[in-house]
Structures are given as structure tokens and as C-alpha cells.
A and B are shown apart, each in its own frame.
Chain A
Amino acid sequence: MDDQAKPQLAGDLAMWIFIYAELLVFGIFFIGYAFTRAYNIELFNAGQATLDKELGAFNTLVLITGSYCVVRAVTAIRQEQSPVCVRWLGAALASGLLFLIVKVFEYKDKLAAGYDLDSNLFFMFYFSLTFFHFMHVILGMVILGFVLLKTQRGGYSASEHRGLESAASYWHMVDLVWVVLFPLLYILK
């Protein structure tokens, strides 16, 4: 456990600046949501009641599972096991894909019920927050796919896997945002 003796940043500093910038955007939106909700409690509660909590909870589990897979992938590469790493990255990608599919069904449902970005303040937040997050899941998957291919080509090793760590950190950020977003939109009363 040499890593713990000498604390090191997992991944590239540039990626962390990027991650914090992303969190800042979401953070400002969350604060905006909190204030707007405080002034329109009834409207927001009514909107929230139309959301499918089970699907939301399921998707939360899916993303947390994805994060677990990414952790295992990083562990595998630290033990010089590229093929295992590739499999875990594949599993993480699959979890991302599952998340997207579930979300698409949720969107279809809401649009069919006549709600859209312009319906009211609650749905403005619901659609923009979840859709920005949706786009981030896609970006996260692109990044994971990129490092998966590189791992397959033997591009990472136990001593040099900074890029993989950067990708993993980004994917955790995507997960983290959802973990805040889910209770905020679906649960909090």
C-alpha cells in the first residue's frame, strides 16, 4: 500500500480541474433548484409526484454498480492484469448503457404525459438537470470506451495508468452528480 504512504492525485490534474468545473455548473443549478423550490413548494411537490421513484432508484443502483466496476478495473491494472481490467471497463460501460436506456423510457413517459421543458419550473429543472447529466453519462462512456481500447492494446501498466485513473475519476463524478440529483428531484419533500 505504497499509495497511502505518499498521497497522490489519482489521474491528471487537468482532469480534476475539469471535474471541479463540471461540479460547479451542477452545483449552481442545484442551488437554483433549491431556491426556486422554496418559493414554489406546491408546484414542485406536484411535479415530483409524477416521477417514477422506482426507476430512479434502480438507475441509482446501476450507476453505483458502474462505479464499482471502474474501481475494480483500476485495481486490476495496478496488479498488471490488463485483460481483467478490460472486462471491468466493459461492465462499467454496460451499466452506463443500461442507465441511458432506462432514462430514455422515463423521458418517453413524461413526454407522452404532455410534460416538457416548457411545462413549468419543476419540469424545466427536471428536464434540464437530468438531460445535462444524461449527456455527461454519454461523455463518460466515450472516455471509458477510449481507455478500454487503449488498455486492450496494452497501453496501460501497473506503473503507468494515469489516463485510466483520470477516466475513472470522471466516471465517479458522473455517478456523484446523480447521487445528489436523484434525491433532490425524486425524493426530497
Chain B
Amino acid sequence: MQYQSQSVAKPYFIAAIGLFIGQILFGLVMGLQYVLGDFLFPTIPFNVARMVHTNLLIVWLLFGFMGAAYYLIPEEAERELESPMLAKLMFWIFLVAGSLTVLGYLLLPYAGLAKITGNALFPTMGREFLEQPTITKVGIVVVALAFLYNIGLTILKGRKTVVNIVLITGLIGLALMFLFSFYNPDNVVKDKFYWWWVVHLWVEGVWELILGSILAYVLIKTTGVDREVIEKWLYIIIAMTLITGIIGTGHHYYWIGTPDYWQWFGSVFSALEPIPFFIMVVFAFSVVNKRRREHPNKAAVLWALGTGVMAFLGAGVWGFLHTLAPVNYYTHGTQITAAHGHMSFYGAYVMIVLTIISYAMPLLRGRAAANSNKAQVVEMWGFWLMTVSMVFLTLFLTAAGILQIYLQRASDTPLPFIVVQEKIELFYWLREAVGVVFFIGLMVYVWSFFVKDEEGKSA
């Protein structure tokens, strides 16, 4: 660790992993509720479990992104963070606000939470992924502004590199797009239209910039390949992301009441969205092949390569599967969407956060460059258990989705939704089983932080 203030990243990373565990637990609850509808009812109804599962994911990824920025920006800008105090303060504000919100979801009926938090004054609640009370949303904006101020000034007063400029561009975009969560028109078409500006332009737009820059940073550090080479790759990845991703928003506008031309725009542009992810795979592997040194942190390199591959599969391939309008006509809102959602979030964003944690955490904990071999082996076990089980989870959901589409929408004698759900139960059981394996993988991963090395020091 070259700069003292980089250490503020540590609590962010720890919180991220803690919330990740919570997210997976609620995922397991929901997975079981798919087959045993009454499980934990009425304590944790399905809709609440789902809300907690998705909201925790977003919040812990945000913790991860902020931790990544606090860690890598001082090093890139070659100066201490503008205000480490502010970063620490924001950490606690974000953690407390996030926890209170989740407790609100769990302990109160949603309508009651809306009432207490004064949703009637400025209604923004009740929309998928944006369920947070308005006051929490305001809190997110405050934290985001303080965060951007902090890293923005650090960059402005320090060295500007392609990596930190791309990263802050992505983070500013993230904050700007979130503002659309405050726009809540009565017209349902308009509501959905702009809702996607938060949801889609995050994950298929600005977040990809964050992903690209973190990946570039870790590859620069672990391979010793020239910055110039890596920066050129980053430029191409960003250009392709924005060319395809922005108008690619159209693939959400097929059936919501928007004009027909969106079927063309959405299909053509989003069909090309796999390209930046494919370039990312080629990028990661070619840079690692050209490495000028053997970095002792093998686990971090594994995570970096894994991110490239899994993001391409989950976001690129599984996204393409159902992105063309004539295909999406059948697949819309089925388990195919769930399959894609799981593998793309894991492959792109979960893995990039775990990549930077894998690289930075040993340094934050005062190791020379990496954890002991023993700890790295355990970490890699975590990598493989989580990644392989996520592949199977995706395949089972895809199988469930294909069956669902056929039985419910494509066959000559279509069956009602709930009848079909019972018929594809087997795949939901299989999904739950690999979900348990994923959780075991996560526990192994967490355990890797506590493995003692040869001299008996905790890794």
C-alpha cells in the first residue's frame, strides 16, 4: 500500500462481503419458496425476500465499487485521498441507512414502510429494484455526492490516468442515472421508459466503465504490461460499450407501449452488446499472456480472467439469447431472464469486486504482495465452487425457461402460468441445490481470509 489513505477501502470491502452473505441467504430462502410456497410465510413472504435479495446485491456492489475507487484512485492520482475522514463518515452513513432500510423491508409491511417514511410527500417507492424509501434514495445521493467530491478532488489535484478518468466517468454516470429514480410519472409507459435509464444504463452502460477500469488497474498491477497498451484496450472497450449499450436500452422497449421502431433499434444495437465483453476476454488473456512478471497473487489474476470469461458468457451470450425482438416475444419475463440476470451479475459485477478485493485486501492487511499460498488455494476453491455452481444454476434456470416458454406460450395447447410452474419444479429443486453449493463456495471464500500461513499468522 503506497498511500495511507487507501486504507479506508478496507471497511468498504468487509461490508461488501458481509452483505453478499446476506444476499445469498435470502436467495436460498426464495429459491426454496419457489418450490415450497409457504416456507417462512408469513415472516418473510416471497416478495420481501426478493426485494432484500436484489437490494442487498446492489448495495454491496456499490460498497465494492466505492472501496475499489478509494483503494485505486490515490495510487493512480499519486497523492493521498482528499479526505479520508469523509470517506469513513460516509461508510457509516451508508451502512446504517442501508441496514435500516433492509430492516424496514423485513419488519414492516411495505405499505407501512411507505407511510412512515413519508412516501406520500414525494412518491418514488414501489418499483422493482427502486423499492427504497424516498429518504433512503436521498441518502444514497448524498453519499454518492460526498464520494464523488472526495475522489474527484483527489484526481483533479493529482495525476490523471485513463484508468482513473474512466472510473470516475463511470461513477459520475452511476450517480446521474440514479437521479431518474426520483422521476415517477403517472403514465406507466413513461414510468417504465425512464426506470430503465436507471436499471439498464447502469448495468449495460456506466457500470461497464467501472468494470473496465478496475480490470485494467488490476491487470496493470499484476502483469506489469505497459500502461499504454492496456489503456488502448480500455478505450476500445468503452467505445463499444457506449455504442451498443446506450441505444441497446431499446431491448427493454419492445412491449411496454413505446413505438415499433424500438424493436429494430433494440435488436440491432443490443445484438452487438456481446462485442465489448468479448474484447474484454481477449484483453484479459492477451495481457496476462504478455505478462512481464509473475505476480505472487495468483488468486487475483484468476479472478480477473474469470471476470472476463463469465461476464462474456453471462452478459454477452445469455443476453444475446433473448435480446432479438422476435425471440423476446416468447422469452420476455420468463426464467430465461432470471438465468441471464444471475450469470451476468455474478460474472460481471460480483467477480470484478471480488477481483479488486483479492488484489487489494492482502495489501490492506499489511502483506508484502499476496496472501500465503495456503490461503490462496482456499480462495481459489471458493472461486471454483462459486463459479461452477453459478454456471449450473444458469443452465438449470435456462432449462426451466425453455420448458416454461414452450408449455406456457409456444405449444398448441398453452397452459396457465401456475400450472407450468408446478411442471418445471424439478429444475427449481436443482437450482436450489446448486445455490447451496454456491453458498458453501462463499463460505470457503470467507474462510480464506482466516487461513493461517506457515508461521501461524492469520493470512
A38, chain B: closest CB distance, angstroms: 16
Chain B residues in 8 Å Cβ range of A124 = 260-261, 264
- The stretch from B31-39, B185-193, B268-276 touching chain A is B268-276
Q: Are A128 and B265 in contact (CB under 8 A)?
A: yes
Contact of A32 among B236, B239, B264 (CB under 8 A): B264
Q: Are B261 and A118 in contact (CB under 8 A)?
A: yes
A180, chain B: closest CB distance, angstroms: 16
Q: Is B235 an interface residue (CB 8 A)?
A: yes
Chain B residues in 8 Å Cβ range of A104 = none
Q: Is B93 an interface residue (CB 8 A)?
A: no
Residue of B nearest to A132 (CB): B247
Q: Are A14 and B232 in contact (CB under 8 A)?
A: yes
Q: Are B261 and A18 in contact (CB under 8 A)?
A: no
Complex Cα distance, B238 from A21, in Å, reads: 12
- B107-126 contacts to A (CB < 8 Å): none
Q: Is A106 an interface residue (CB 8 A)?
A: no
Q: Are A28 and B261 in contact (CB under 8 A)?
A: no
Complex Cα distance, B243 from A22, in Å, reads: 9
- B274-327 contacts to A (CB < 8 Å): 275, 279
Complex Cα distance, B244 from A25, in Å, reads: 9
Chain A residues in 8 Å Cβ range of B265 = 128
How many B residues have CB within 8 A of the partner chain?
A: 18
Contact of B268 among A21, A32, A117, A118 (CB under 8 A): A32
Q: Is B391 an interface residue (CB 8 A)?
A: no
Contact of A14 among B235, B243, B244, B275 (CB under 8 A): B235
Q: Are B268 and A29 in contact (CB under 8 A)?
A: yes
- A8-24 contacts to B (CB < 8 Å): 12, 14, 17-18, 21-22, 24
Complex Cα distance, B243 from A21, in Å, reads: 9
Residue of A nearest to B265 (CB): A128
Residue of A nearest to B267 (CB): A32
Complex Cα distance, B268 from A29, in Å, reads: 7
**At the interface, is chain B mostly helix, strand, loop or mixed?**
helix
Residue of A nearest to B271 (CB): A28
Complex Cα distance, B264 from A117, in Å, reads: 12
Residue of A nearest to B239 (CB): A18
Residue of B nearest to A36 (CB): B264
Q: Is B240 an interface residue (CB 8 A)?
A: yes
Q: Are B236 and A28 in contact (CB under 8 A)?
A: no
Q: Is B456 an interface residue (CB 8 A)?
A: no
A117, chain B: closest CB distance, angstroms: 6
Q: Are A128 and B261 in contact (CB under 8 A)?
A: yes
- B224-280 contacts to A (CB < 8 Å): 232, 235-236, 239-240, 243-244, 259-261, 264-265, 268-269, 271-272, 275, 279
A37, chain B: closest CB distance, angstroms: 13
Chain B residues in 8 Å Cβ range of A14 = 232, 235-236
Chain B residues in 8 Å Cβ range of A25 = 243-244, 268-269, 272
Chain A residues in 8 Å Cβ range of B271 = 28
Residues of A in contact with B (beta carbons under 8 Å apart): 12, 14, 17-18, 21-22, 24-25, 28-29, 32, 117-118, 124, 128
Residues of B in contact with A (beta carbons under 8 Å apart): 232, 235-236, 239-240, 243-244, 259-261, 264-265, 268-269, 271-272, 275, 279
Q: Name 22 A/B residue pairs within 8 A (Cβ), A-sorted.
A: A12-B232, A14-B235, A17-B236, A18-B240, A21-B240, A21-B243, A22-B243, A24-B275, A25-B243, A25-B244, A25-B268, A25-B269, A25-B272, A28-B271, A28-B272, A32-B264, A117-B259, A118-B261, A124-B260, A124-B264, A128-B261, A128-B264
